[in-house]
Structure 1
Amino acid sequence: MSPSKAKIETVSDILGGWGLWHTNIFVFYFSCLIFSVFDKLSMPFFAPPIDYWCSKPLIYKNTTDLCSADCEVWTYDKSFWITTVIDKWDLVCGRSWLASFAQSCFMGGVILGAVIFARLSDDYGRLTVLRIAMPLEIVAALGLALSPSIQIFIFFKFIQGIGSNGRALTGYLLLLECVGTNERGFISVAVDTGFAFGYIILPVVYYFLRDFQTFSYFHAFLELFWVIWLFKIPESIRWQLTHNQIDQAESEMIRASEMNKSSITNVKEKFALLKKHIDLQTKTQLEEKKAGFLDLWRSKVLQRFSLVLYFSYFVNAFVYYGLSLNIGDLNGNLFINFFLAGLVEFPSYIITSFALKHIGRKTLLIYFMNGSGLSCLSTVFFLSPTDTTVRVCLAMIGKFCVTSSFTLCYVYASEIYPTILRQTGLASCSIAARFGCIIAPFVKELTAFTSIGVSLSIFGSLSIINAALVVLLPETRGLEMPSDIAEAEKILTQNVPKRPESGDIHVA
């Protein structure tokens, strides 16, 4: 087939499939995701659950330098932990909230990182942003280890959040822009399992280190390895073409074909076809930018859908990170519980990806949210010390369900919003999720003042309320993705089937 008749829409359409060039980028980002858990979920080990109590007058126990002026009595078994942020800066009694605040600031940095690096990535390239974000994470990790005060520690957690999200978002774009349309859905799901691998690796690493400062040094060392690897990662050919860097794109394409041991002919003609396709997409994106956030609220249909989706994103993020960051409050062994919480993510991704091919989005989301809600609520009947195993098992079922429903939210929202508002809609949903991430760390304080039963009951109640509200959303399986607001109102309210590929997964 001549280039003029060939369908050239992705880089892989020119390269002719998967090869070593693609594998290098995939493994790089996959391994980055493994250790991104070290950024996001290390606080349960930095500030593990300890027994302390507050009373007056001021009494020191076992030592004369553990408590600060506003702390009365506290003690815990240091035979296992070497150094935690709790004993480093006396984060007990009136200061206990500072550990949770540090994690919230990290999430705040994640939001800022998305805003900053999304624009930089489009203007200066994916590789440029990665070369900024990853060294920033190294600086943050070293800052955490060397912090002289909790205030400086919190500052570096915020910086770590900025760098972490810059690396994650930009790396994901780089990966998707190098694969073909047929592989995109599978690759999106497959690479997410890297986060699950990191989830189960983190407790193993921390079990041997047991010191937040040593762990931070170790983390910085690992990031240095990935920065070196970054020199072997190419810039996005797609981005180069959109910025008229034709010679650089052609040079990288030739190198890619050599790595993949494939031959390509008529490179310039195929590039012209690819660039034409990209230009059409760019025109569509410009139309999207003209339709802003306020346009979501000019349509009563999208307004109703948006409110439900915002709540769903908020609840899923709150419950997911609430369970993940406060896993130690379930009692039992912190390391085993954390390992199990990561382990359940593997079947979650697998089952969800297969279920999407055969079951409607709305039905699945209702099932998973009710499953999360009922399992969390059931724990209130197993709060005694002898019921720890049952309580942990029920919490893991909840973790499995909320992981699945969180994944579904991204698929569902991308199919509900019309093309001209899809980017705006998904971005606003993501912001709603970040609010859930920001308040999730403070569940630890709620549990301390009440009980784990109260916290899990809140998780369960919100999940069930969310499941009830999802009924208001349309079913999108088997429907064509709408292009504009009018089409969205027609398709989503009448459920007009137009898409023959009803099992396709549309990744946000």
Structure 2
Amino acid sequence: MNTMEVQERNAKPTIQQDLIQKVIGSFGKYHLWLCLLIFLTKFPVAFHQMAILFLSPKVSYSCGGSELNNTCPCPDPVYDTSIFSSTIITEWDLICDRKWLTSFTQTIFQLGTLLGSVFFGMASDRFGRKCPLLVAVVMQIACGVGAAFVPDYWSFTFLRFVIGMSVGGTMVTGFVIVMEFVGTQYRDLISALYQVPFNLGHMSLPLFAYFFRDYSDFQLSISAPVVILLSYFFLIPETPRWLIAVKRTDEAIEVLERVAKVNNRPTDNIRADIEAYQASLEKHQLRKGNFLDLFRTPNLRKNIIAMAFNWLACSYCFYGVSQYVGQLSGNVFINVACSASVTLLGTFLAIPLMKVMGRKTIVITFHIICAVCLLILAVIPEGVGSVISASIGVVASFIVFLVVYLYCTEMFPTVVRNAALGFSSMAARIGSMVAPFVIGMRDTALWMPPVAFAILPLLAAFITICLPETKGCELTTTIEEGEAFGKKTKPLKQ
């Protein structure tokens, strides 16, 4: 579709997109600086999401003076502290009839991430991107450090819940900030690179655990460095797209002029151009969107339901199959590092794929690859082949996970973009909360978990067919533009 066709179809979003990119460029010095700042938030996200691997690693114990190991009931356990001097299991005796509490604390963390994604998504559409991000950072620091010192299990679990909320908030809000600054032709690359700090954080987590073998010291070591993110009070701007969408024109002009100067762009006509654009928006009575706006109109409703199911399916498979691979015996530090390295490979593979393929094509293709690998896993004997098949499934699901972040951002208009990301992320959390129960089906039959994991990506591949392609399209602003996006018929001219 050429520029003339875009303008004829809907002039308003083209003016905004072209205007902002004309003013600050698609990617310059300021964009690079902003990306580096936001990317830093993904390290603590990885630390806290994967911390359970070292907060509650497998631990052996004997019962009193007997020679019996790992038996129940065990009223006076003596724990093996040769690898970890203290874990939440040894600290609060989470064995036998209390063993379920180990999984429960992680489930509660994921519930916090789910709620945080929704609440912070709605808050950032209503109050701007910067303020909710800063609130999430402060919550993460305070509760992360506090969790290292609380004396009982339930206080620890509650603080992990709040940390989960802050993690959900930083993920959805930080990503939208980056996407609303970066130009169209760089969105696919930056959305892929946005996951690299998560991969690196995951890979570096075994180093923290290796040097801090006490769970309290480990928790403190992954939480205290987040203090550096308090600098965001001064370094992170509000996004001009949101400011324009809510008619805070002067603030948008101020941000655009500052960014333009850093990127060595002319600033003479910024105020006149933005004010002219803002005047055009007044005629359309642009209003703030909310979560319910995603479901009021048929096209947006279809898109958000299909998108959310994609997020659920890839999260369900990624976390579930990763845990399935993680059951392998061996050195826990090396196993975690290797597992993280596989996902890093998927990140770098996705970058060239998003340059040459559409979002829709990638999502459908890798859902199918994931499902096929898991079906193969169900019928072959356990061994090297099963490990390879499961690993390919993990990489395929992670590539989908990476692409749907960008796909969702491009599909929904500015006034509900964060709400869409928040709702989709909520669906992803549900998938990650269900996955551990699927792994437990191994006790019934070895083939059941792989088949159960394969069903959702296969369904998601077919559901994705009904979604529009977004590669190369301009970001929409209003609910009306979002409802018209992807329809075969042209929207009515006003």
Distance in 1 between the 2:336 and 2:484 partners?
45
What's the % identity of the aligned pairs? 25
Matched, 1:209 2:202: no
Query: Which residue of structure 1 aligns with residue 318 of structure 2?
Result: 320
Conserved 8 A contact 2:311-2:425: yes
Q: Say whether the 8 Å CA contact 1:240–1:248 is kept in structure 2.
A: yes
2: CA distance, partners of 1:370 / 1:149: 45
Q: Distance in 2 between matches of 1:209 and 1:255?
A: 43
Does structure 1 residue 157 correspond to structure 2 residue 160? yes
Are 2:48 and 1:39 aligned? yes
SS in 1 for 2:330: coil
Q: Report the equivalent of 1:342.
A: 340
Residue 462 (str. 1) matches residue 453 (str. 2): yes
Cα 1:231–1:419 shift into 2, 3 Å: closer
Residue 175 and residue 104 in structure 1: after superposition, are their counterparts in 2 closer, same or farther (change >3 A)? Answer: same
One-letter identity of the residue aligned with 1:24? W
Distance verdict in 2 for CA 1:14–1:360, change over 3 Å? closer
Which of 321-330 and 29-38 deviates more?
321-330
Query: Using a 3 Å threshold, how does the CA distance of structure 1 residues 394 and 135 change in structure 2: closer, same or farther?
Result: same
Provide the residue aligned with 1:228 in structure 2.
Answer: 231
Map 1:410-449 → 2, pairs under 5 A: 428-442=423-437, 446=440
Contact preservation (8 Å) 1:379, 1:391: yes
Partner amino acid, structure 2, of 1:16: G
2:24 maps to which residue?
A: 15
Note if 1:450 corresponds to 2:443: yes
Check the 8 A contact 1:330/1:391 in 2, yes or no. Answer: no
Match of 2:396 among 393, 401, 406: 401
Helix, strand or coil: the match of 1:91? coil
Distance 1:467 1:199, change over 3 A: same
> What secondary structure does 2:194 align onto?
helix
Partner of 2:349: 351
Amino acid at match of 2:39: F
CA RMSD of aligned residues (A): 4.3
Q: Distance in 1 between matches of 2:386 and 2:482?
A: 46
Q: TM-score normalized by structure 1?
A: 0.76
Measured after TM superposition, the shift of residue 464 of structure 1 is 4.4
CA distance in 2, matches of 1:417, 1:18: 22
Distance 1:294 1:142 in 2: 42
**Alignment match of 1:110 (pick from 99, 110, 113):** 113
| CA distances 1:20-70 after superposition (whole Å, capped 9, x unpaired) | 3222211011121123101211111111123469xxxxx42489xx99996
Superposed displacement of residue 131, structure 1: 2.2
Q: After superposition, give the CA deviation of every residue in 1:74-100 in whole Å (9 maximum; x if it has no partner).
A: 665421112211111111111111121
1:207–1:335 Cα contact (<8 Å) kept: yes
SS at the partner of 1:146?
Answer: coil
Give the SS at the match of 1:330: coil
Cα distance, 1:257–1:227 mapped onto 2, change above 3 Å: same
Q: Given that residues 21 and 259 in structure 1 are in contact (C-alpha distance below 8 angstroms), is that contact kept between their aligned partners in structure 2?
A: yes
Q: Which has the higher contact order (CA 8 A, sep 6+)?
A: 2
- Equivalent of residue 272 in structure 1, options 255, 272, 275: 275
Give the match's secondary structure for 2:465: coil
- Distance in 2, Cα, partners of 1:243 & 1:490: 26
Q: CA deviation at 1:122?
A: 3.2
1:293 and 2:295 matched: yes
Deviation of the 1:490 alpha carbon: 7.1
**Counterparts of 2:259 and 2:466, CA distance in 1:** 41
List alignment gaps of at least 5 residues for structure 2: 1-13
**Which moves more between the two structures, 428-437 or 128-137?**
428-437
Q: For the Cα contact (< 8 Å) 1:8–1:270, is it kept in 2?
A: no
Matched pairs, number: 470
| Secondary structure of 1:329 counterpart | coil
What is the aligned counterpart of 1:25 among 30, 34, 38? 34
The verdict on how the C-alpha distance between 1:427 and 1:222 changes in structure 2, with shifts beyond 3 A counting, is closer
1:210-257 per-position Cα deviation (integer Å, ceiling 9, x unaligned): 332112212222110111354222232333444554444444444333
1:250-282: CA deviation from partner (whole Å, max 9, x where unpaired):
444443334334442123113224535766898
Where in structure 2 are the equivalents of 1:238-253 lying within 5 Å? 238-253=241-256
Q: Could you tell me how far apart the structure 2 residues matched to 1:97 and 1:282 are?
A: 53
Distance 1:270 1:310, change over 3 A: closer
Q: Go from structure 1 to structure 2 and tell me whether the alpha carbon gap of 1:457 and 1:401 turns closer, same or farther (over 3 Å shift).
A: farther
Correspondence 1:383-394 to 2 at 5 A? 383=382, 387=383, 391-394=386-389
Indicate whether 1:131 and 2:110 are aligned.
Answer: no
Q: Match of 1:184?
A: 187
Q: Judging changes above 3 Å, is the alpha-carbon distance between structure 1 residues 333 and 442 closer, same or farther for their aligned structure 2 residues? A: farther
Which residue identity does 1:182 align to in structure 2? Q
Between 1:150-159 and 1:78-87, the stretch displaced more is: 78-87
2: CA distance, partners of 1:121 / 1:417: 15
CA change 1:331–1:396 in 2 (3 A) is same
Q: Which consecutive residues of structure 1, in runs of 5 or more, have no partner in the other structure? A: 1-5, 54-58, 499-508
Q: Label 1:407 to 1:220 Cα distance change in 2 as closer, same or farther (>3 A).
A: closer
**Are the aligned partners of 2:325 and 2:391 in contact in 1 as well (CA < 8 Å)?**
no
Change (3 A) 1:262 1:209: same
Seen in structure 2, the aligned counterparts of structure 1 residues 143 and 262 have a Cα distance that, compared at 3 Å, is: same
TM-score, normalization by structure 2: 0.78
The Cα of 1:476 is off from its aligned counterpart by: 5.6
> For the residues of structure 2 that align with 1:13 and 1:181, how far apart are their CA atoms?
12
